[in-house]
Amino acid sequence: MKTDQPATTMSTTTSVRRGELTCRQAVENAINAAHRHAPLNAFVELWEEPARRRADELDRLIASGATPPPLAGLVFGVKANICTTLGRTTCASRMLADYRSPFEATAVRRLREAGAIPIGSLNMDEFGMGSSGENSAHGPTLNPWDRTRVPGGSSSGGAAAVAAGILPLALGSDTGGSIRQPAAMCGVVGIKPTYGRVSRLGLVAYASSFDQIGPITPDVHSAAVALTHLCGFDPDDATSADLPVPDFTRDLLADPGPVRIAVPRQARLGSNHPDVSAAFDRSLDSLRQDGAQIVDVDMPMLDAAVNAYYIVATAEASSNLARYDGVRYGRRAPNAASLEEVYTRSRTEGFGPEVQRRIMLGTHVLSAGYADEFYLTALRARRVIKQEFDAAFAMGCRAVAMPTAPNPAFRLGEKAADPASMYLEDVYTVGVNLAGLPAISVPMGLSTSTGTALPLGLQLIGPAFEESAILNLAARFEARVGRWSPPA
């Protein structure tokens, strides 16, 4: 269903400032919506009472005549691999089923300090490892457009909750497309910031040189608002970039002047779903009508991006997840007869099949005799991919455009027995993480040949720390093509 005037993240905060809505009412609306849409399985848990208490505190502050914080009344959800002190941080894994973090992530703290109210932990693929939302110890998340289909992953709960109208903002994490791909499959906006732009403190590590926190929102303006509050240097994060943070909402719809946008040959894979190809061509036409010059480029190393990503990312995962051994914290197998049995049983019982698969793959590519052949080769490919993006920007291109995903949302269980096919759903997103660049997914139309209307995403990739440029292009594109909402 096409929507001409979508709700924005700021609509709630504007209503609160005008006295048309209280923070408590905003929280109750979100709680009621979460219960109404419970079959989507978007939440791991709801933090109802803490949210109500925080809302009441803000309402008392506003009633006293004080100026409300900029995001007062904004309700948001937190992906289950981002630490909070309000509930469990499970990473959607049996390994951390009862884990409670002693501290909260910097990203969560910054939103809270701006007046936003966290309301619950969002479902996901276990430890961020998955492209469908099916690899969760809490069960799969369902797509609000069609509950027989996946919402994408790994930030499945956030994308589903925003698409269903439960939340105006969800915090996700993106290691190889885990914000952008579910945003595309659920018809919402998701942005992966430049590596280092948002603090990683409190984000449970999957692949440390890839992981980034970012927002999932109903529209581009909301993403810009959220990003303005999320970004900034964090002295407690060694990967944090010490750079000034602009107001990303400033001049969001301003005329950018002459713009060149690169379109790689690799964006037109023969394996693309016909509806994706058609919608992508229409999107390029819309960008041309807005004054952009489309430049065809060749980025041959993108053909190897999936291979390089799944070697480097799994290598880092095998190292990061070694800490979950049944001794220090996390699940510990009972009645084990030896230390080796503690390790083996705790990890076998605690990790799901996809996490086990990636740990084994990562351990293999780092092992003696294979590290040079696989891991170091993948690192060289990573460097060349970054150089290819840089070459496109050096030509004067403000962004690189590709589909976000090669297919619309597929049916639950359709790719479960074929991991390689599942990994190829990330073919257009993983290169961005390899290069550490910012990218946004914005809805570009609907697929109708699948028997049901399913959203499709356009991805715009920018130079490092140029989030403002891609937000501007995305906002102008959104203004031209409109937005869509799932059928009620």
Catalytic residues: 79, 154, 178
Amino acid at 370: Y
To the nearest 10 degrees (0 to 180), the angle between helices 274-289 and 467-481 is 100
Two tokens at 466?
Answer: 């140029």
Cβ burial of 17 (10 Å; 0-12, 13-18, 19+) is: middle
Give the separation between CA 171 and CA 199, rounded to whole angstroms.
13
Taking CA atoms, 192 is separated from 197, 227, 412, 433, 457, in Å, by: 10, 10, 25, 9, 14
Can you point out the beta strands (E) in 238-362?
259-264, 292-297
Selection from 356, 416, 425, 357 nearest residue 134 by Cα: 416
Is the separation of the CB atoms in 12 and 144 below 8 Å?
no
Is the separation of the CB atoms in 279 and 405 below 8 Å?
no
Which residue is listed with tokens 């581009």? 220
Which residue is listed with tokens 């048309």? 20
The alpha carbon of residue 80 and the mean position of all alpha carbons in its chain are separated, in whole angstroms, by 12
Sheet strand arrangement including 75-79: 43-46, 117-122, 75-79, 169-174, 212-217, 189-192, 439-447, 454-461, 397-403, 259-264, 292-297
Two tokens at 168?
Answer: 């105006």
What is residue 42's three-state secondary structure? coil
